[in-house]
Structure formats: structure tokens, C-alpha cells
């Protein structure tokens, strides 16, 4: 899992709007990054659905991982996703690409 985390930090966190110019996360102690919290589940989801379209994988993400997230209400509304402020949602295609690159030994 460390290889995935390292690659995500290099490829995703470095460009995230919640990071500074050095790629260091600026979220405070009251905030959390869904990518880092759910990375093991994200990797597993991507591996289980590697032949699926990205849109189908993202739908499964919302059905399995997003439902566990504290920012999603019981009705399925996520205030972070609604405000385009969920790092997992915003960078999902890059996250998938990064995990695939790690799997293929490209990072």
C-alpha cells in the first residue's frame, strides 16, 4: 500500500487544491482527505473492476466508499461533492491512472 500512497502523493496531492506550492496538504486537523482515508478500499475497488469503464468504477465508488464517508448524508447527498470540493471525486480519473501506473511498474 505504501507504493500506492507514495504515487498518489506525487501525482495527485502535488496538484490538489488543498496543497501548497510544495505539494504538502494544507487541510487542518478538523478536515480529512478521502483519498488518504479510503486508499486501501479505492485500490481494491479499482483492482476488482479493472476492465470496467471509468464511469462505472466511479459509480461503484459512490455505492461502496462514499456511503461510508461522514460528509455524505443518509439521503446520499455529499456537501463536499456538491461543491466540487471532494478530492476523491475531483481527482478520481488521475487516482485510477496513478494506481494503474503503480501496478504496471511505471511509477
pLDDT of residue 30: 82
- Give the tens place of pLDDT for each residue, 1-49: 999 999 999 999 999 999 998 888 898 888 888 898 999 999 999 999 9
Q: How far is CA 5 from CA 47, 53, 75, 105, in A?
A: 15, 23, 31, 14
pTM more than 0.85: yes
Q: Residue 54: pLDDT above 90?
A: yes
pLDDT of residue 60: 95
Average of per-residue pLDDT values in the chain? 90
Cell of 5: 500512497
Whether 65 and 42 have beta carbons less than 8 Å apart is answered as yes
pLDDT of residue 40: 97
Q: Residue 74: pLDDT above 90?
A: no
Amino acid at each position: 500500500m505504501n507504493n500506492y500512497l507514495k504515487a498518489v502523493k506525487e501525482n495527485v496531492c502535488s496538484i490538489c487544491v488543498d496543497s501548497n506550492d510544495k505539494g504538502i496538504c494544507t487541510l487542518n486537523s478538523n478536515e480529512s482527505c478521502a483519498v488518504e482515508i479510503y486508499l486501501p478500499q479505492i485500490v481494491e475497488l479499482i483492482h476488482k473492476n479493472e476492465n470496467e469503464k471509468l464511469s462505472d468504477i466511479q459509480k461503484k465508488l459512490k455505492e461502496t466508499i462514499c456511503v461510508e464517508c461522514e460528509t455524505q448524508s443518509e439521503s446520499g447527498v455529499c456537501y463536499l461533492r456538491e461543491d466540487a470540493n471532494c478530492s476523491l471525486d475531483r481527482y478520481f480519473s488521475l487516482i485510477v491512472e496513478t494506481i494503474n501506473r503503480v501496478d504496471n511498474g511505471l511509477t
